[in-house]
């Protein structure tokens, strides 16, 4: 099991899916340490890049220890997309460029961005072609099954993406209308894989080694992308990559390991986001890290009030 994206070769192609508010530098460094060979960053607005929005530009920063890394942009015109792609390439802080055609959020869709492009094949093709002309770096696109059940057009759009010259296609097996509900349709990913000659990354509902085995078997995809199952669970990359190498399932983290990684994650957030934002962003991660453990509800309530590193240390000392 291995795949290439442009010049990059991945022996165990289990990637971190892009997640806004989750896959920032801090989490990507942790996922990378746990064996994730390629992390996708949070989606970045092309308009934000165009207007040199400070917070947008901050999101484009990466660290040497997380390379290679994929940076995802979203846009609604070929010119805006090409300009943003070129900016990312020239900055030299990312290795792979990804284009978002999957985000279902109303404010994005209303703007004609994200999964809205699943309704506009000609525009999607024009955007992907413009990006391809603008940059030399490896370039991937992430798309959904379609807009809704009456508009399942991922096959058409994947074919157009291939024609536009993308190096790989990631497919989330849900329509826009489904958001994150129901089960992802892996059969449609299989159909995409059958149709295109570029590598395909399957996405949706992979949470365990058994799921990994099954999604590869059903879809024939070249790689997979893990989203929600990686929230508060970077160990999933250690487990899945180890499983691909050996067929063996590793146990989950011990309480000790969880405590260590929570504090490491917090320290990284403090470093990159500062003393005010860092602990506040850590609250949701801490909640995810402690899913399924004893006294969960009380613990989460305490995490949600934590304001300093010491607060997190005290909670861990008390409960772990
Ligand atoms: C909190 C959250 C944020 C997300 N942000 C993005 C994003 O910025 N770009 C993107 O292409 N997909 C985004 N997604 C979708 C995921 O990349 C992935 O396609 C989806 O969660 C399905 O995979 P899963 O079942 O493994 O979670 C997001 C999903 C979640 C849950």
The C-alpha atoms of residue 114 and residue 209 are separated, in whole angstroms, by 30
Q: Report the nearest-CA residue for atom 30 of ligand 1.
A: 19
User: Which residue, 200, 215, 246, sits at the end of a domain?
Assistant: 246
Tell me which residue range forms the domain holding 107: 3-246
239 shares its domain with 276: no
CA of 313 to the centre of ligand 1 (A): 30
User: Which residue, 229, 246, 263, sits at the end of a domain?
Assistant: 246
Tell me the average pLDDT of the chain: 97
Identify the pLDDT of residue 211. 98
197 shares its domain with 130: yes
285-293 long-range contacts, CB within 8 A, separation 24+: 285/27, 285/231, 285/232, 286/232, 286/262, 286/312, 287/232, 288/231, 288/232, 288/233, 289/232, 289/233, 289/258, 289/261, 289/262, 289/265, 290/232, 290/258, 291/232, 291/233, 293/255, 293/258
CATH number of the domain enclosing 93: 3.20.20.70
Report the number of distinct structural domains present in the chain.
2
Q: Report the nearest-CA residue for atom 10 of ligand 1.
A: 18
Pocket test for ligand 1, best of 144, 227, 234 (most atoms within 8 A of CB): 227
- The residue among 242, 160, 142, 113 whose CA lies nearest residue 202 is 142
96 shares its domain with 75: yes
136 shares its domain with 74: yes
User: Which whole number is the average pLDDT over 138-142?
Assistant: 98
SS3 97: strand
**Is residue 296 over pLDDT 90?**
no
**Is residue 175 over pLDDT 90?**
yes
Residues marked active site are found at 103
204 shares its domain with 271: no
**Is residue 295 over pLDDT 90?**
no
pLDDT tens for 66-125 read 999 999 999 999 999 999 999 999 999 999 999 999 999 999 999 999 999 999 999 999
Pocket test for ligand 1, best of 142, 172, 234 (most atoms within 8 A of CB): 172
Question: How far are the Cα atoms of 88, 141, 264 from residue 132, in angstroms, in the given order?
Answer: 13, 11, 38
């Amino acid at each position: 099991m291995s795949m290439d994206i442009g010049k990059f070769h991945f022996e165990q192609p289990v990637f971190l899916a892009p997640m806004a508010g989750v896959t920032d530098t801090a989490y990507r460094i942790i996922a990378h340490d746990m064996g994730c060979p390629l992390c996708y960053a949070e989606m970045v607005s092309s308009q934000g890049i165009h207007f040199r929005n400070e917070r947008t530009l901050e999101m484009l920063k990466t660290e040497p220890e997380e390379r290679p890394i994929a940076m995802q942009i979203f846009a609604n015109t070929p010119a805006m997309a090409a300009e943003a792609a070129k900016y990312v390439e020239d900055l030299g802080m990312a290795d792979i460029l990804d284009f978002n055609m999957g985000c279902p959020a109303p404010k994005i869709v209303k703007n004609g961005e994200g999964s809205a492009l699943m309704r506009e094949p000609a525009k999607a093709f024009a955007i992907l072609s413009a990006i391809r002309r603008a940059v030399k770096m490896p370039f991937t696109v992430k798309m959904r099954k379609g807009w809704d059940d009456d508009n399942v057009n991922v096959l058409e759009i994947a074919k157009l993406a291939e024609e536009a010259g993308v190096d790989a296609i990631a497919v989330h097996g849900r329509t826009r209308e489904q958001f994150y509900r129901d089960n992802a349709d892996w059969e449609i990913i299989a159909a995409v894989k059958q149709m295109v000659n570029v590598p395909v990354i399957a996405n949706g509902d992979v949470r365990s080694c058994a799921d990994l085995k099954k999604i590869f078997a059903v879809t024939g995809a070249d790689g997979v992308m893990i989203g929600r199952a990686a929230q508060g669970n970077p160990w999933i990359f250690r487990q899945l990559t180890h499983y691909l190498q050996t067929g063996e399932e590793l146990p989950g983290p011990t309480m000790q390991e969880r405590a260590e990684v929570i504090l490491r994650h917090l320290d990284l957030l403090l470093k990159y986001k500062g003393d005010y934002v860092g602990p506040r962003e850590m609250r949701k991660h801490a909640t995810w890290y402690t899913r399924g453990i004893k006294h969960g509800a009380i613990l989460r309530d305490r995490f949600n009030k934590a304001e300093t590193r010491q607060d997190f240390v005290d909670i861990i000392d008390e409960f772990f």
